[in-house]
Amino acid sequence: MPDQEPSDDVNSTKSRRSGLSGLLENVLRRFSVIGHLLFLLPIAICYIFCLTTAMAIALASYDAVLSVLPELIIVKALAITLASLLFCFSLIFVVPLANLPWLLMMREYRGPWMSLGVYPWYAHNALVYLVRYTFLDFITPSPLNILFYRLMGMKIGKGCMINTSNISDPCMIELDDFVTIGGSAFLMAHYGMKGFLIIEKLKIGRKSMVGLNAKILGAVTIGANVTIGPNATVYPKTDIPDGTKFGIDQE
Q: Tell me what pLDDT residue 8 has.
A: 57
For 15, 27, 105, the CA distances from 18, given in Å and listed in that order, are: 8, 13, 19
Distance (Å, whole) CA 158 – CA 167? 19
Instruction: Output the average pLDDT for the chain.
Output: 89
Between the CA of residue 131 and those of 75, 85, 95, 202, what are the distances in Å? 28, 13, 8, 21
The rounded distance, in Å, linking the Cα atoms of 70 and 238 is 62
Confidence of residue 228 (pLDDT cuts 50, 70, 90): very high
The string of pLDDT tens digits covering residues 126-164 is: 999 999 999 999 999 999 999 999 999 999 999 999 999
Cis peptide leading into 230, omega within 30 of 0?
no
Domains of the chain and CATH, by start? 19-246 (2.160.10.10)
| Tens digit of each residue's pLDDT (9 = 90 or more) over 29-40 | 676 666 677 778
Stated pTM of the model: 0.87
